[in-house]
Structure 1
Amino acid sequence: MDNNLVITYKFREIKNAISSYLTQVLPPFHITPIMMYALEFLRKHPDCIAVDIANEFGLTRGAITQLLDKLEEQDLVVRKPHPTSRRSHLLQVTDKGNTLINEILLAYNNKIEQLFKPYTVEELAQLQKLLEKLPL
């Protein structure tokens, strides 16, 4: 089998495993994967608007409204008036939302780190070096 094909296949397997880990970690936190993704997006893009999240994740206006309503009900996100548009709101992660994201990421990262247990320090250093070359 072609090396590139093997590597591509392995990356898809890794992606699937890591996605699975998130679904395993989230239930005690009472949020869904899309809620987590939205919170992370909002943390990286403070004061964005709903359409920004909809575009990022391919959600409809109705779906994004429901998502934001759930996040707001749990006091994870707050909608603030937009300074120039009466039809839009700025979205911000609350302190409770930031704390929740940090707790989830700690559990999620711990789960992912289990993948690296069989590797030596040298192998991990080599893997890190190779991953840093990826154009991400």
Structure 2
Amino acid sequence: MENDQELITTKFREIKNVISSYLMQVLPHFQITPIMMYVLEFLRKHPECIAVDISNEFGLTRGAITQLLDKLELQGLVIRKPHPTSRRSQLVQMTDKGNELIINILAAYNKKIEQLFTPYSKEELAALKQLLEKLPL
């Protein structure tokens, strides 16, 4: 049993490495860094957040988040607005351009990942899907 778990753990690490390499193949086309993509994806899921939310999510300093948001804002991918209830905070929101960019990146990234599944039958993919849905993610 322990060897099975070790093999599965090793396979998951290998999958993570392959998927990360796919991301690194896709992103240069969009002229964006991985952390910029992750922040845009975060903003897509959390449209009413402030910079400290992003900082907490990614473990970055306030200064690093400020620089990152400056870059994203300069590219027209996010905007900062005054917070309605806190004078010391600003809402960070993705622009339509940012939303379109993340949709295009994820489509290209997903297409690369789907290459991993071409050798599998429909039945094997259904079994894999069923197992993956059990993961506590």
TM-score range, shorter chain: over 0.9
Distance 1:64 1:20 in 2: 24
Aligned pairs for 1:70-81 within 5 A? 70-81=71-82
Identify the residue that residue 10 of structure 2 maps to in structure 1.
9
TM-score (norm 1): 0.97
Unaligned runs of 5+ in 2: none
Post-superposition offset of 1:83: 1.1
**AA partner of residue 41 (structure 2):** E
TM-score (norm 2): 0.97
Post-superposition offset of 1:50: 0.4
Q: How many residues align?
A: 136
Aligned pairs for 1:112-127 within 5 A? 112-127=113-128
Unaligned runs of 5+ in 1: none
**AA partner of residue 28 (structure 2):** P
User: Once superposed, what is the RMSD of the aligned Cα atoms?
Assistant: 0.9
Aligned-partner SS, 1:26: helix
Post-superposition offset of 1:126: 0.7
Identify the residue that residue 41 of structure 2 maps to in structure 1.
40
Distance 2:87 2:32 in 1: 30
Identify the residue that residue 87 of structure 1 maps to in structure 2.
88
**AA partner of residue 80 (structure 1):** K
Q: Is 1:98 equivalent to 2:107 in the alignment?
A: no
Percent identity, aligned pairs only, is 77
Distance 1:36 1:115 in 2: 22
Distance 1:61 1:113 in 2: 36
